[in-house]
Amino acid sequence: MSEKKNISRKPKKSSAGMPRIKTGSLGKTTKGILGGEMLSVGTFRFFPFLIYIAFLAFIYIASNYYAEARIRDINHLRKEMKEINYEYITGKSKLEELSKQSQLAKKLENQGIKESTKPVKTIRVAKD
């Protein structure tokens, strides 16, 4: 009879006793990009992709700056609107105070115009 082969799928152990981890193509690519091997080898086949990634990063950063500027503008306009609203309310209350009958009588008294103390008489005309 022939010998049975070892069919178990256990990872092979390295000399340190730890199981070896297989690195796939993603790991090799990442190691090549981060390690600089891609540029040192002299192949620039990923160069257009890197330009594209840099362009997207630029757009992302510019978009964030633009959004922050708009938020600052909105906050500034809100503060300005509150101030204008407060001025409106203050002016309105001053106008109401000045337009009271007692206040008008005091102002017109200096000019010689006095408030009438006699009640108003109604004149009725009979229709024929």
User: Whole-angstrom Cα distance, residue 112 to residue 20?
Assistant: 109
Residues 63-68, mean pLDDT to the nearest whole number: 98
pLDDT at 79: 98
pTM of the entire predicted model: 0.48
Q: Is the pLDDT of residue 16 over 80?
A: no
Average per-residue pLDDT in the chain?
81
Query: In sequence order, which residues have a C-beta less than 8 Å from that of residue 32 and are 6 or more positions away?
Result: 38
Residues 58-71, mean pLDDT to the nearest whole number: 98
Residues 56-79, mean pLDDT to the nearest whole number: 98
Tell me the C-alpha to C-alpha distance, in Å, between residue 1 and each of 6, 8, 59, 87, 100: 16, 20, 70, 104, 121
- Give SS3 for 15: coil
Q: Is the pLDDT of residue 1 over 50?
A: no
Nearest to 47 by CA among 35, 63, 55: 55
| Alpha helices for 22-112 (secondary structure H) | 25-35, 37-40, 47-98, 101-109
Tell me the C-alpha to C-alpha distance, in Å, between residue 73 and each of 21, 68, 93: 54, 9, 30
pLDDT at 113: 83
Which residues partner with 27 through β-bridges? none
The top-scoring range by mean pLDDT among 31-35, 42-46, 87-91 is 87-91
Q: What angle do CA 49, 55, 60 make, to 5 degrees?
A: 125
DSSP code of residue 10? P
